[in-house]
Amino acid sequence: MSEMIKIREFKRRVWGANGTPLTNQAIRDQIQRDVLPGAQIGRLWFIDWDAYQKQTGNALADAVLRAG
């Protein structure tokens, strides 16, 4: 079971309290382009936290991991 978190929680976990996070729109765009694992449910956007943590930084390897 994957943990789906809201964009606000994602920003807090990744950048912390003192970081400079991406805008909500930039994160939504990355979800739509499959750069970040996530989905829109209703009007809200969520990040798949478990899949995000498993990303390697290699686009091909990440695509294989998402497919399997």
Structure tokens that stand for 46 in this block: 């969520």
DSSP 19: S
Q: For 45-54, what is each residue's pLDDT tens digit?
A: 999 999 899 8
Q: How confident is the model at residue 14 (pLDDT cuts 50, 70, 90)?
A: very high
Domain extents in the chain? 4-67
Q: What is the torsional sign of CA 30, 33, 35, 36?
A: positive
pTM value?
0.83
* Secondary structure of residue 60 in the 3-state scheme: helix
DSSP states of 20-58 as a string? -PPPHHHHHHHHHTTSS-EEEETTEEEEEHHHHHH--S-
